[in-house]
Structure 1
Amino acid sequence: MTSASAESPVERILDAATLLFAEQGFAGTPTRLIAEAAGLNIATVNYHVGGKRDLYLAVMERAAERERLALGEAMEAFTADAEGVHRLADRYLDFCVAHPEIAALWLRRWLSEAEDIASLEAERVRPLIGRIVELAGQVAGPEVDAEYAVWSVVWCVHGFIRGGVLDERGRRRRGGDGAALRRFRLTLHRLVDGLLEL
């Protein structure tokens, strides 16, 4: 991994914007703050990525591409059985655990963040979800709505990554907690089995 000073200005800007948009949202993140976090001035940010809307699009497109690449191998190796579905769900969960900022970006997006940028879902999300729905449909029971089953898993994983599960003391346990992650993974497998009627 390279140091922040060795990274290109664009990568520094995208990294800073990703974290800030994930935590504070599009509306709550001024470009000045992104520039400061990247160790640059606003003019440099504008020069490399354009305005805030352009920057948001670049962040979301990069997030979608990383997600697509992470799931690509699991989709290629998919087997039309419960084990294949579990491996795909595990890969998605593992990606979200490793990149909670990406889960946060999408969760904020789907909760009405920057709604005026509608093309993002059509161009980036629908093709990936569509392919996963096709794979799930290969093993789903005849009465199953595979699309809603897949989206239910997505929302469940994002909820665990962002909100976690409360323990007996009221503390949130998320993906970084090994025991909570193991319990959630087992529950996720059971949820997938039930949703797809495996």
Structure 2
Amino acid sequence: MSAQPDDGSSRERILAAATRLFAERGYDATSTRAIGEAVGLNIATVAYHVGGKAELYRAVMRRAHLAQREVVVAALRELRACGPSAAETRAALLGFVDAYLTFCMNHPEVPALWMRRWLSEGADLTEIEAEFAGPLISEVAVSVREVLDRAGLGPGVDVEMLVFTIVWTAHSFGQAGVIDPTGRRLGPRDLAVLDRFRRHLHDLVTSVTGRGPGGGEQER
């Protein structure tokens, strides 16, 4: 393996390999040596392009966050632009859910990276949540609350918990799928199962946001 920087694509290849390995194995079980071997480079060359393991992990999580944020911000823009009626707001909110679910299905490595962190992988790197996850969740919750209030929907809903519920379920379904009565694991590549999950998520969001302050259903 070369000990010298080879070309401009090295950093991208290192980040791609690191993303895959961190998603599959987690931060703690992935060494810089393993990442280098995956792209045919030694540790010195990896360090030249991306720094040490912690710096490489931050770069991977930053890329994952930016890809996620791009989709979320675009979907929030559509949500905030929806009409003020309850029906328009519900439809726009479900559109937001669909956009996020589609992102998770198209980029399974991103949910996998975050789920590894939920298992306390790289727990000492607490700035990942402070810099990336926390602000984005807050931005989504504020926007959802604003459009719900405008439409007179869900005055008693804990919007932040609703946002977390969407994230938890989308990430978990994308990674684990469901188990059928025979014990087979059916994942998101099974379009019938994916459609079933999407409808369930729609029903959940519609039901929660349709509740009045006392927990009852609001007028449709």
Same fold (TM over 0.5): yes
Q: Which residue of 1 aligns with 2:99?
A: 91
* 1:149 and 1:196 in contact (8 A); partners too: no
Aligned ranges for residues 1-198 of structure 1 at < 5 Å? 8-78=9-79, 79=82, 81-137=89-145, 138-139=147-148, 140-197=153-210
1:21-58 superposed Cα distances (whole Å, 9 cap, x missing partner): 01100111111111111222211111111111111111
Q: Which protein shows a greater Rg?
A: 2
**Mean CA deviation greater in 43-52 or 166-175:** 166-175
Which whole-Å CA distance do the structure 2 matches of 1:43 and 1:6 have between them?
A: 15
1:101-155 superposed Cα distances (whole Å, 9 cap, x missing partner): 1100001112211111111112111221112111221315111110011001100
Residue 77 of structure 1 aligns to a residue whose secondary structure is helix
Unaligned runs of 5+ residues in structure 1 are none
CA positional deviation for 1:168: 2.8
CA positional deviation for 1:160: 0.3
Q: C-alpha root-mean-square deviation of aligned residues, in Å?
A: 1.7
CA positional deviation for 1:195: 2.7
Amino acid of the structure 2 residue aligned with 1:191: L
Which whole-Å CA distance do the structure 2 matches of 1:44 and 1:87 have between them?
A: 44
Which whole-Å CA distance do the structure 2 matches of 1:195 and 1:154 have between them?
A: 15
> In the comparison of the two structures, how many residue pairs are matched?
194
Which whole-Å CA distance do the structure 1 matches of 2:62 and 2:162 have between them?
A: 24
Residue 156 of structure 2 aligns to a residue whose secondary structure is coil
Q: Which residue of 1 aligns with 2:215?
A: none
Percent sequence identity is 47
Which whole-Å CA distance do the structure 1 matches of 2:208 and 2:11 have between them?
A: 41
CA positional deviation for 1:68: 0.4
Structure 1 segments of 4 or more deviating over 2 A? 194-198
Which whole-Å CA distance do the structure 1 matches of 2:209 and 2:63 have between them?
A: 30
- With normalisation by structure 2, the TM-score equals 0.83
CA positional deviation for 1:6: 8.6
- With normalisation by structure 1, the TM-score equals 0.92
Amino acid of the structure 2 residue aligned with 1:165: V
CA positional deviation for 1:183: 0.6
